[in-house]
Amino acid sequence: MIPLTITEVEALGAGRVEATGERITGVKIDSRLVEPGDLFVAIGAGKNFLADAHARGAAATLVPKNGFAAIGALGAAVRERSAARVVGITGSTGKTSTKDVLHALCSPVARTVAAEASFNNELGVPLTLCRLEPGTEVCVLELAMRGLGQITALASIAQPEIGVITGVGPAHLELVGTVAAVAQAKAELIEALPGGGVAIVPSNVTELDPYLRRNDLEVRRFGPGDVLRGQVDGEHTHAVLSVGGRELELTFNFVARHHLLNALAALHAYDALGLPLDRAHEGAGAIAFSRWRGEELLLEGGGLLINDAYNANPMSMRAALDHLADRAGSRRRVAVLGDMAELGPDAPRYHRDVGRHASAVGVDVLLTVGPLAEHYGDGQTEIPSVRSVAGVDEAIAALHELLQPGDCVLVKASRAVGLEVLAEALAGARV
């Protein structure tokens, strides 16, 4: 972290500071993670662990007036002292994976800090900024939203100069109402870019067009037409992609075809940073995706588990079902699908649409988990076996009956369903 003096921390006026040192070299909100020199910010029940933080070597503790505001002020203070170029990434689907790809591309050629896992909210974004070092050259951030104004607030702290929107679709409709409102919320990232900034957007999302009419922005578009060739070979994907009028031949260490669009978005950001495209191959084969996003594990009898349990919306669910079909080959296709949350009054229709897609890609066994998920099975007479259960424990029991050796199994739902527990049980983990 770019160090802050205790005087600078106190000047933020974020709360009560108790210091044993003269400066801080890190920020933590979990006392168990505190290292010597850190500032421990006691959010919520954290005030009960001040002594623990000091015992672990904290240079100071902060009991904030408002936890989000305090972390935001600290992140902004570090960002203002940094010369790093910041890339902000948002989108209805694929933002974490795009962040992971861009991190891998940048790391061999620039000193890079990127958000861990899905550190993408009022706490995660400033905590990532607090990891900036004096020599950091690139910072890759993921910006999430649940409603209007939230990306504006995050961008005011992060000050990105490159903004990537991976896609716009039916997500968070319960909170914002329409897909047009989702586009408006995502476009707050574009509006936050400075003059001379770069906006990277999907070529097929017309809802963003009204927000791209600034004369002081460079706009780069990407889409399926830029994937000139893509072939899965074993555990890799060989692809030829068009980036800025240049054809790149790269080998990626992923097998899900939908990641090629995430890679395109990341490559445009990489190029906009001025990093050398002729070295992109160095990171393309070393991508470490965040947990529960298409993880693959071998199952009994040559079967395969695709653990995509982190989150879901109609767009990502269809992509995951396509991937199931790609990976299954001659194996039976088993889809364990849970509720998709925050879709508003049209939620049953969106679930029915996904169920029809499951039928279209040849799913053999459909197990639905949760009350909304029952709608996946509405009228699905073409899927040979459809069963609905209320929760994860029932789903685990049902799979003992439904699964056969050699099956290819997709597990996917919105985060609140907790289907990662089922995936871990399938893999033989103790949970």
* Per-residue pLDDT reduced to its tens digit, 244-259: 899 999 999 999 999 9
Query: Does residue 172 surpass a pLDDT of 90?
Result: no
Strand 236-243, strand 38-41: pairing: unpaired
The span from the CA of 36 to the CA of 3, in Å, is: 13
Mean pLDDT over the full length of the chain: 95
Strand 112-114, strand 85-90: pairing: unpaired
Angle subtended by helix axes 347-360 and 314-328, to nearest 10: 20
Query: Does residue 209 surpass a pLDDT of 70?
Result: yes
Final residue in a domain of this structure, among 258, 284, 310: 284
Tell me 412's DSSP state: E
Query: Count of H helices and E strands in the chain?
Result: 15, 21
Query: Does residue 272 surpass a pLDDT of 50?
Result: yes
Query: Does residue 233 surpass a pLDDT of 80?
Result: yes
Let me know whether 35 and 114 are in one domain. no
Final residue in a domain of this structure, among 12, 40, 66: 66
**Predicted local distance difference test score (pLDDT) of residue 298:** 92
**Predicted local distance difference test score (pLDDT) of residue 379:** 79
The span from the CA of 287 to the CA of 277, in Å, is: 16
Taking 3-state DSSP, the helix, strand and coil percentages for the chain, each rounded to the nearest 5, stand at: 40, 25, 35
SS3 295: strand
Encoded tokens for 328: 């299954």
Average pLDDT over residues 157-184: 93
**Predicted local distance difference test score (pLDDT) of residue 300:** 83
Tell me 135's DSSP state: T
Let me know whether 105 and 61 are in one domain. no
**Predicted local distance difference test score (pLDDT) of residue 174:** 85
Question: What is the layout of strands, in order, in the sheet containing 236-243?
Answer: 227-233, 236-243, 246-252
Let me know whether 169 and 272 are in one domain. yes
Let me know whether 115 and 213 are in one domain. yes
Query: Does residue 111 surpass a pLDDT of 80?
Result: yes
Confidence label for 383 from pLDDT (cuts 50, 70 and 90): very high
Residue 32 lies in a domain: yes
Let me know whether 202 and 262 are in one domain. yes
The model's pLDDT over 31-77, given as tens digits with 9 standing for 90+, comes to 999 999 999 999 999 999 999 999 999 999 999 999 999 999 999 99
Let me know whether 261 and 311 are in one domain. no
Phi first, then psi: give them for residue 175, nearest 5 degrees: -100, -35
Query: Does residue 261 surpass a pLDDT of 50?
Result: yes
CB distance 25 to 38 below 8 Å? yes
The span from the CA of 143 to the CA of 164, in Å, is: 10
CATH of the domain at 48: 3.40.1390.10
Question: What is the layout of strands, in order, in the sheet containing 15-19?
Answer: 15-19, 60-64, 38-41, 26-28
Query: Does residue 429 surpass a pLDDT of 50?
Result: no
Let me know whether 353 and 275 are in one domain. no
Q: Which residues contact 142 (CB under 8 A, 6 or more apart)?
A: 88, 89, 90, 95, 96, 99, 115, 118, 119, 120, 124, 125
Residue 290 lies in a domain: no
Average pLDDT over residues 142-159: 95
Let me know whether 369 and 251 are in one domain. no
Indicate the number of domains in the chain.
3
The span from the CA of 73 to the CA of 76, in Å, is: 5
**Predicted local distance difference test score (pLDDT) of residue 117:** 80
CB distance 91 to 144 below 8 Å? no
Confidence label for 431 from pLDDT (cuts 50, 70 and 90): very low
**283: Cα separation from own chain's centroid:** 19
Q: Which residue is it, tokens 């919105």?
A: 414
The span from the CA of 356 to the CA of 19, in Å, is: 60
User: CB 81: neighbour CB atoms within 10 A?
Assistant: 15
Residue 8 lies in a domain: yes
Residue 71 lies in a domain: no
Residue 172 lies in a domain: yes
Query: Does residue 430 surpass a pLDDT of 90?
Result: no
CB distance 317 to 414 below 8 Å? no
- Amino acid making up residue 12: L
Let me know whether 203 and 331 are in one domain. no
Query: Does residue 396 surpass a pLDDT of 50?
Result: yes
Tell me 95's DSSP state: H
Strand 198-202, strand 218-222: pairing: parallel
| Dihedral angle sign, alpha carbons of residues 189, 343, 96, 117 | positive
Encoded tokens for 346: 């049209």
Confidence label for 269 from pLDDT (cuts 50, 70 and 90): very high
Let me know whether 87 and 23 are in one domain. no
Q: Which residues contact 198 (CB under 8 A, 6 or more apart)?
A: 161, 162, 163, 217, 218, 219, 220, 269, 272
Residue 24 lies in a domain: yes
Let me know whether 177 and 230 are in one domain. yes
**Predicted local distance difference test score (pLDDT) of residue 148:** 94
CATH of the domain at 302: 3.90.190.20
The model's pLDDT over 7-18, given as tens digits with 9 standing for 90+, comes to 999 999 999 999
| Dihedral angle sign, alpha carbons of residues 2, 90, 341, 404 | negative
Residue 102 lies in a domain: yes
- Containing structural domain, residue 151: 82-284
> Over 286-336, what HEC string results?
CCCCCCCCCEEEEEHHHEEEEECCCCCCHHHHHHHHHHHHHHHCCCCEEEE
The span from the CA of 146 to the CA of 138, in Å, is: 26
The model's pLDDT over 295-354, given as tens digits with 9 standing for 90+, comes to 999 998 899 999 999 999 999 999 999 999 999 999 999 999 999 999 999 999 999 999
Residue 75 lies in a domain: no
CATH of the domain at 90: 3.40.1190.10
Greater confidence, 32 or 380?
Answer: 32
Let me know whether 38 and 93 are in one domain. no
Query: CA geometry: angle at 416 spanning 189 and 338, to 5°?
Result: 105
